[in-house]
Chains A and B, each alone.
Chain A
Amino acid sequence: MEQVIANGLYLGAQYAMIALGLTLIFALMNVLNFAHGQMYVLGGFVVYEVYGLMKLPFVVGLIASALTLAVVGAALERFLFRTVIRRSEREESTMLLAAGVAYFLDAAILLMFGEKQRGVHKIVNGVFIWDNLILPWDRILVAGLAVAFIVAFILMMQFTKPGRAMRAMAQDRVAAQLMGVPVAFYGLVGFALGAMLAGLVGGLLVTITGVNSGIGGAISIKAFMMVMIGGAGVVGGAIAGGFILGMLESVGLTVLHAYGDITYLVIFVALMVFLAIRPNGLMGKPWG
Chain B
Amino acid sequence: MTRMQRSARAAAVALFLLIVFVVIPLAIYETHRTDLYYTLSSVALLAIASGGVWLTFYIGRINIGQGAYALAGGYVSAVLVSTYGLSFWLSLPIAGLFCALISVLIGLPILRLRGVYFSMVTLVLTEVARLSALALPVTNGAKGITSIPMPGAIGLLGLTIVPAFDSFAEPNAAFYFLSVTMMTLTFAALWRLVNSRVGHLFAALRQNEALASSMGVNVPLLRVLAYAISSFLGGIGGAIFVAIAQSIYPSSFTVNDSVNFMLNCFLGGLSYVFGPMLGTLVLYFGWDLLFQTGQYQLLIYSGVMILLIVALPNGLLSLRWPSRKAP
Chain B, residues 207-218, CB within 8 Å of chain A (1/0): the string is 000000000000
Once the chains bind, are A262 and B314 in contact (CB under 8 Å)? no
Q: Does B295 contact A (CB under 8 A)?
A: yes
CB distance from A4 to the nearest CB of B (A): 22
Q: Does B326 contact A (CB under 8 A)?
A: no
Q: Which residues of A contact B125 (CB under 8 A)?
A: 272
Q: Does A172 contact B (CB under 8 A)?
A: no
CB distance from B231 to the nearest CB of A (A): 15
Interface of chain B, main secondary structure: helix
CB contacts under 8 Å to B, within A65-117, are: 80, 83-84, 87-90, 92-93, 95-97, 99-101, 103-104, 106-108, 110-111
Partner of A272 from the list B110, B303, B306 (CB cut-off 8 Å) is: B110
Complex alpha-carbon distance, A97 and B305, angstroms? 8
Closest to A31 in B: B116
Q: Which residues of B contact A92 (CB under 8 A)?
A: 57, 62, 266, 270
Q: Does A264 contact B (CB under 8 A)?
A: yes
Complex alpha-carbon distance, A111 and B304, angstroms? 17
Q: Which residues of B contact A97 (CB under 8 A)?
A: 306, 309-310, 313
Q: Which residues of A contact B134 (CB under 8 A)?
A: 261
Q: Which residues of A contact B131 (CB under 8 A)?
A: 262, 264-265, 268
Complex alpha-carbon distance, A264 and B128, angstroms? 8
Q: Which of B16-24, B42-50, B160-168, B254-262 contacts A (4 or more CB under 8 A)?
A: B254-262
Chain B, residues 26-53, CB within 8 Å of chain A (1/0): the string is 0000000000000000000000000000
Total contacting residues, chain B, CB less than 8 A = 46
Once the chains bind, are A265 and B132 in contact (CB under 8 Å)? yes
Once the chains bind, are B262 and A95 in contact (CB under 8 Å)? yes
Once the chains bind, are A32 and B309 in contact (CB under 8 Å)? no
Once the chains bind, are B302 and A272 in contact (CB under 8 Å)? no
Q: Does B267 contact A (CB under 8 A)?
A: yes
Once the chains bind, are A93 and B298 in contact (CB under 8 Å)? no
CB distance from B260 to the nearest CB of A (A): 9
Once the chains bind, are A287 and B266 in contact (CB under 8 Å)? no
Q: Does A191 contact B (CB under 8 A)?
A: no
Closest to B260 in A: A99
Q: Which of A42-50, A52-60, A225-233 contacts B (4 or more CB under 8 A)?
A: A225-233
Interface of chain A, main secondary structure: helix
Partner of A107 from the list B62, B106, B302 (CB cut-off 8 Å) is: B302
Once the chains bind, are B135 and A104 in contact (CB under 8 Å)? no
CB contacts under 8 Å to A, within B121-157, are: 121, 123-125, 127-128, 131-132, 134-135
Once the chains bind, are B299 and A269 in contact (CB under 8 Å)? no
Partner of A104 from the list B106, B124, B306 (CB cut-off 8 Å) is: B306
Once the chains bind, are B255 and A221 in contact (CB under 8 Å)? yes
Q: Which residues of A contact B270 (CB under 8 A)?
A: 90, 92
Q: Does B200 contact A (CB under 8 A)?
A: no
Closest to A105 in B: B302
Q: Chain B: residues with CB nearer than 8 A to chain A?
A: 57, 62, 106, 109-110, 112-117, 119-121, 123-125, 127-128, 131-132, 134-135, 255-256, 259, 262-263, 266-267, 270-271, 295-299, 301-303, 305-306, 309-310, 313-314
Besides A84-B310, A95-B119, A95-B266, 14 other CB < 8 A contacts?
A32-B120, A34-B259, A89-B314, A92-B270, A99-B262, A100-B306, A108-B299, A110-B295, A224-B124, A232-B117, A265-B128, A265-B131, A268-B131, A272-B121
A-B contact pairs, 14 of them (CB 8 A): A80-B306, A88-B314, A92-B270, A95-B266, A106-B302, A111-B299, A224-B120, A224-B124, A228-B124, A268-B127, A272-B106, A272-B110, A275-B117, A287-B116
Q: Which 10 A-B pairs have the closest CB atoms?
A: A276-B109, A288-B114, A88-B313, A107-B298, A103-B302, A104-B302, A107-B299, A96-B266, A265-B131, A287-B115
